[in-house]
Structure 1
Amino acid sequence: MNVLSKIEPLLMQVQKPAQYIGGEVGSIVKERDKVDVRFAFCFPDTYEIGMSHLGMKILYSLINTRENYWCERVFAPCADFEALMREHDIPLYALESLDAVNTFDMVGFTLQYELSYTNILNMLDLAGIPLYAKDRGETLSPIVFAGGPCVCNPEPLADFFDLFILGEGEEVNLEMMDLYYNMKQAGASRSEFLRAAAQIPGIYVPSLYDVTYHEDGTVLAVTPRDNAPATIQKRIVDDMDKVFYPETFVVPFVETVHDRAVEEVLRGCIRGCRFCQAGFLYRPFREKSPETIQRQCRDLCDSTGYQEISLSSLSTSDHSRLEETLNGLLPYLESHRINLTLPSLRVDNFSRELMDRIQGVRKSSLTFAPEAGTQRLRDVINKNVTEEELMRTAKIAFSGGFTNVKLYFMMGLPTEDKDDIAGIAQLAERMIALFYETSDRPKGKSIQISISVATFVPKPFTPFEFEPQIDREQLKERQQHLIESIQPRNRKKIKVSWHTYEISFLEAVLARGDRRLVPVIEQAWRNGSKFDSWSEYFNYENWQRAFDACGIDPAFYANRTRSYDEVFPWDHLDYLVDKSFFIRENQTAHTSQTTPHCRAKCAGCGVNRKIGRACFE
């Protein structure tokens, strides 16, 4: 079903109608009768957010290099357009063909954030696809699956999906589609395909695993059947210079969150911050060569016309040949007046030369994340950043003309006390004093420091997966202590903001949940929850009623300490880092000791051993 005739009369009734019509420069349209497998790539948030997602750009271009495969984009409609879709019986559709999603062979979601889960159900419902995998029958299509970082614990969504893809998708997605194509030709059933797909490394079929529980509610065992593997290991690509990367992006008609070209310069992280899930999920550390980065940047800028490009990674300044990369890239960027941004800079390898380079065309803002207010707590979380380095970096920024500093912290970290909270204010105040002591600071201007405080969320596959999240009352006390710790004379120069506690609490519940949360998510959606990550839509009462209706205590998932020998809902999924390493790191954290980063000394996380690679040593 093509929806063009139905949506045309409605587009002028909604905001930003261009996000619903497709046809952008760089979008790929194929002839339906020449395509064997159609893949709807679904991003469970709005167009302006989803079109900024690098993973979609990579897989969209990669799959479409195969002549007989067609990947199309699907986004969650905003509330105004969704209301019209439901009123006029318009199903969820893909942008390239404007065909209904329920006519596709494969429907894939990317799980970037736990609070997108109700959007997934809403999109399936809009598409006319049964929410539960068991209700889709034995017909082969559509296969509903998901990838992305939240797949490291997909158990709260297990009954909604046919399968999950663990790790990096460039190779395994095509392997899965090839299997689907062959089994479609052979007339296979859904269950036959799923049993075969479970044999592909990196693919997890949750219906082939039975979960049992102890009387106290913890997991007893996850037991495979039908010859499914006992452990599913994530997929990685080995050579970043050879892995596929697009030469062009789809260029949106409307402004998006990150409206620029993006070049991925490395994967993984050497640092080992104990709270950071991404730093462990994306190991091992792998870099692109300067030549590859430079070529891909030129290709993207030439093909898209973007006037800004970002060198993207978890920690771009950790690239071992960053200076060489910039030396080769900046002449092109300067001659074409293209701005360069380097997100994810660290204060311990930030220099005046680097700042000058990234300001080559126009000045961009600098943001740093001390994460904790005292050195003791920064050591607990293994941030490996000293106050001396923070102040050195701030002085470089002030000398370079910056008067606005953004500092990111977390509250509720393990072992945190009142001195750590007061330390946030004291650190900001020392930066204010440093600004006025800096002789070559901008004259006639005042400094403004913005402090953003997030509530710590313990996540799977981190050394803090065993830790509890603080409760609402504890958080309120600490927030009040922070405000009171700011000296009256500095309160106009320091602005403090923090995240909504209920959002962080729900994130913790869903991040460490199990299959008993499946009906809770469905009930929350039926209560009206969607776009939960948007403060204007988030309604915790919907969730509280869902927990109550299902007899679930969310504090069981968010607020309790977990023992080292507990079986976690995600223990049958292998992201290559040994659980014994997480235990050692948790124990080290409680002694306020740090662990050196990977280039300084191998900490024995186990990743490279499992895949036959050498560590830095």
Structure 2
Amino acid sequence: MILRFLNEELLNVQKPARYIGGEFNQVRKDVENKFRIALAFPDVYEVGMSHYGLELLYHYINSFEEFYAERVFLPWVDMIELMEKKDIPLFTLETKTPVFNMDVLGISIEYELSYTNVLKLLELSKINVESEKRKDGDPIVIAGGPVVFNIEPIAGVFDIVYIGDGEKNLRQLLDLLYETKGARRLDRLKEAAKIPGIYIPQFYRQRGKKVVPIKDVPKKIKKNAIGDLDECFVPIRQIIPNVQSIHDRGVIEISRGCTRGCRFCHAGYVYRPVRERSKKNVVENAKKILKETGYEEISLLSLSAMDHTTLNEIVDGLLPYIKEKKISMSIPSTRVDAFNIELLSKIASVRKRGITLAPEAGSQTMRNKINKNIDFNEIYNSALEAKKAGWNKIKLYFMVGFPDETEGDIKEIGELLREIKRMKFKLVTASVNLLVPKPHTAFQFVKIREPEYMEYVYSILKNYKRYAKIDVNDGKKSFVEGILSRGDRHLFRVIMKKYKMSYYDEWTEFFNFDEWIESFKDIDLDKYKGPYSLKDDFPWDHIDSGVTKYFLWKEYERFFKGESTKDCRNVCSYCGVCQILNVENNLKI
């Protein structure tokens, strides 16, 4: 039925290559006697195929003989309409198997605005959206990714939530589900709850704001954290997409975690501690990836790649190979204070593109308060040296909406752009976004700003548009994301209502703020805006990232005092991660 549908209808949709599979380096297995896992990314194919975590899990799971992992993405709206019209269920790319016939459906959630996509993906898969209404023979639906550190607004969807590094206990979980296939669903979930880092939402209930167990399960679920990245699986034969992906390049993860302590950064807290991959491991595997894929670019993936202890040696180790093959190298994340123009000039020796810096705040006062720990001279000199080295385009990222922010703090964004423009870059662009208070960060306590605040920001920065192309976000997406990120189980009915109106909320052309406001009428929205205190219960208090709530509160207090916290590579900040999770920073000196 599915193959016939594809044969007859594929040319009636945009980018039909999104749905055919068969890519170079796709894994092919005989499905006989295999435990089958559908790995889903709830967005369009070219976005999902750019996600390194999906690539990693796909090849990691397929490295085991008894498992077969296949891929699933949310079709584009034209394909969804056609599938619904023809009553075609969502299917895997590898074997065109309906998702409802798989043993497991694993969904990676990277951002809160994909919640409506998750529900649409399940509906299209013909799987009941609510976990407690599923039958024994239905796929076990698992959530993973950074958003699961507060999954509560959409917890009712998932049978299992996997928290933390997939390499730690995912194999154990899949082995259990394989061995118990055919048993009662509830019994399988009870056994899964015994595995570290596994959260079974239906075994918990929300009381007030707090989520508490109703069965014999842990009160707090500690995240899974690996100790040594060198011992972890590296996906070598990375799939070459049929449609050009957002990030069309090979990827090697050089480190995981960050210890800088920027007070707004969710990833910086929940991925602690930092674990580096060694120079030898990176260089050898990067060359293998390039040989197995034919990519013309290799990306050194990290939250803060410039902080890698042996980054210079890694670059020097790869340069002869990439120069010979005319391959470019990129670093997707660059901190200003770690900015090394000589090093970046080496990296860009094959192809020079625009350069990106993230000062985050315009004024020195605010940069100190958010613990960015960079000064004006570092930003200015980095941009100047980049210009001297041959870069002609520069982009800068800023955030606004911090507590106690003044008009002067915002004006300083414009003044910084004025100084950089004087360096005679051909193009200076700036992106200005509203702060999204995230769980497990120092700003989980703050009051979120209303979208109208961005009109005030624009009224100040419009006077500086002659110095740069300034994109001041309207704040509407950020506001909705902020509500969802600190939400609880009462928001599930909001998301259910919204997805029936529209989905693809991360996409500007589909995001509809009025529909969200209409959906929020079912709840008291003021309860989700903040501010909060240390004594307030959070719906994510039962999820243990390793960073203690008390430490985050002290960081919040330090914000108002303008006090900095040092990088814990050098001085322990006693955040709790190493002691609670029995891990530590693993630097490859």
How far the C-alpha of 1:223 sits from its partner, in A, is 2.2
Distance in 2 (CA, whole Å) between partners of 1:540 and 1:425 is 28
Equivalent residue runs for 1:557-572 within 5 Å: 557=528, 559-572=529-542
Tell whether 2:444 aligns with 1:465. Answer: yes
Residue in 2 that maps onto 1:254: 243
* SS, match of residue 316 in structure 2: helix
How far the C-alpha of 1:431 sits from its partner, in A, is 1.5
How far the C-alpha of 1:171 sits from its partner, in A, is 3.1
Which among 453, 463, 473 is matched to residue 499 of structure 1? 473
Tell whether 2:527 aligns with 1:556. Answer: yes
Task: Give deviations 1:548-568, integer Å, cap 9, x for gaps.
Answer: 2x2x133321x3200111110
Residue in 1 that maps onto 2:94: 96
Task: Give deviations 1:52-98, integer Å, cap 9, x for gaps.
Answer: 00011111001111112110000000011111111111100000000
Task: Give deviations 1:88-116, integer Å, cap 9, x for gaps.
Answer: 11100000000100000101100100000
Tell whether 2:507 aligns with 1:534. Answer: yes
Native 8 Å contact 1:41 1:109 kept in 2:
yes
Q: Which amino acid aligns with 2:148?
A: V
How far the C-alpha of 1:363 sits from its partner, in A, is 0.5
Q: Which amino acid aligns with 2:436?
A: V
Distance in 1 (CA, whole Å) between partners of 2:437 and 2:26 is 39
Which among 452, 459, 473 is matched to residue 431 of structure 2? 452
Tell whether 2:374 aligns with 1:401. Answer: no
Tell whether 2:418 aligns with 1:429. Answer: yes
How far the C-alpha of 1:182 sits from its partner, in A, is 1.1
Distance in 1 (CA, whole Å) between partners of 2:159 and 2:165 is 19
Tell whether 2:461 aligns with 1:482. Answer: yes
Distance in 1 (CA, whole Å) between partners of 2:291 and 2:244 is 19
How far the C-alpha of 1:325 sits from its partner, in A, is 1.1
Native 8 Å contact 1:152 1:575 kept in 2:
yes
How far the C-alpha of 1:206 sits from its partner, in A, is 0.6
How far the C-alpha of 1:386 sits from its partner, in A, is 0.6
How far the C-alpha of 1:616 sits from its partner, in A, is 8.3
Residue in 2 that maps onto 1:297: 286
Task: Give deviations 1:198-229, integer Å, cap 9, x for gaps.
Answer: 1100110011012111xxxxx1x432132111
Gaps (5+ residues) in structure 2?
A: none
Task: Give deviations 1:238-271, integer Å, cap 9, x for gaps.
Answer: 1111111112111112100000000100000020
Residue in 2 that maps onto 1:21: 20
Residue in 1 that maps onto 2:31: 32
Distance in 1 (CA, whole Å) between partners of 2:211 and 2:432 is 37
Distance in 1 (CA, whole Å) between partners of 2:527 and 2:206 is 18
Residue in 1 that maps onto 2:63: 65
Which among 137, 142, 160 is matched to residue 163 of structure 1? 160
* SS, match of residue 259 in structure 2: coil
| TM-score of the aligned structures, taking structure 2 as reference length | 0.98
Residue in 1 that maps onto 2:130: 132
Residue in 2 that maps onto 1:8: 7
Q: Which amino acid aligns with 1:534?
A: W
Distance in 1 (CA, whole Å) between partners of 2:7 and 2:197 is 42
Distance in 1 (CA, whole Å) between partners of 2:526 and 2:320 is 55
Q: Which amino acid aligns with 1:15?
A: Q
Tell whether 2:569 aligns with 1:604. Answer: no
Distance in 1 (CA, whole Å) between partners of 2:147 and 2:221 is 15
How far the C-alpha of 1:600 sits from its partner, in A, is 3.0
Native 8 Å contact 1:447 1:493 kept in 2:
no
Q: Which amino acid aligns with 2:474?
A: T
How far the C-alpha of 1:140 sits from its partner, in A, is 4.3
* SS, match of residue 452 in structure 2: helix
Q: Which amino acid aligns with 2:9?
A: L
| Residues 615 and 69 of structure 1: CA distance in aligned 2, closer, same or farther (over 3 Å) | closer
| TM-score of the aligned structures, taking structure 1 as reference length | 0.93
* SS, match of residue 271 in structure 1: coil
Task: Give deviations 1:158-206, integer Å, cap 9, x for gaps.
Answer: 111111000111232211110011111xx41000011111110011001
How far the C-alpha of 1:614 sits from its partner, in A, is 4.8
How far the C-alpha of 1:154 sits from its partner, in A, is 0.3
Task: Give deviations 1:366-407, integer Å, cap 9, x for gaps.
Answer: 100101010000011000111010011011111012222111
Tell whether 2:73 aligns with 1:75. Answer: yes
| Residues 40 and 614 of structure 1: CA distance in aligned 2, closer, same or farther (over 3 Å) | closer
Tell whether 2:548 aligns with 1:574. Answer: no
Task: Give deviations 1:477-522, integer Å, cap 9, x for gaps.
Answer: 12212223x2xxxx43411112232211110011000000011100
Q: Which amino acid aligns with 1:113?
A: Y
Native 8 Å contact 1:49 1:256 kept in 2:
yes
Native 8 Å contact 2:354 2:392 kept in 1:
no
* SS, match of residue 28 in structure 1: coil
Q: Which amino acid aligns with 1:496?
A: I
Native 8 Å contact 1:457 1:504 kept in 2:
yes
Residue in 2 that maps onto 1:367: 356
Runs of 4 or more off by more than 6 Å in structure 1? none
Aligned residue-pair number: 587
Residue in 2 that maps onto 1:440: none
Residue in 1 that maps onto 2:318: 329
Distance in 2 (CA, whole Å) between partners of 1:395 and 1:609 is 42
Native 8 Å contact 1:602 1:615 kept in 2:
no
Distance in 2 (CA, whole Å) between partners of 1:517 and 1:268 is 30
Distance in 1 (CA, whole Å) between partners of 2:429 and 2:526 is 32
Native 8 Å contact 1:602 1:616 kept in 2:
no
Distance in 2 (CA, whole Å) between partners of 1:82 and 1:613 is 45
* SS, match of residue 555 in structure 1: helix
* SS, match of residue 178 in structure 1: helix
Distance in 1 (CA, whole Å) between partners of 2:421 and 2:205 is 57
How far the C-alpha of 1:602 sits from its partner, in A, is 1.6
Native 8 Å contact 1:273 1:381 kept in 2:
yes
Native 8 Å contact 1:452 1:496 kept in 2:
yes
Native 8 Å contact 1:468 1:561 kept in 2:
yes
Equivalent residue runs for 1:216-255 within 5 Å: 219=209, 221-255=210-244
Native 8 Å contact 1:262 1:310 kept in 2:
yes
Residue in 2 that maps onto 1:106: 104
Native 8 Å contact 2:353 2:391 kept in 1:
no
Residue in 2 that maps onto 1:587: 557
* SS, match of residue 83 in structure 1: helix
Residue in 1 that maps onto 2:517: 544
Distance in 2 (CA, whole Å) between partners of 1:183 and 1:351 is 53
Distance in 2 (CA, whole Å) between partners of 1:547 and 1:351 is 47
Distance in 2 (CA, whole Å) between partners of 1:392 and 1:505 is 34
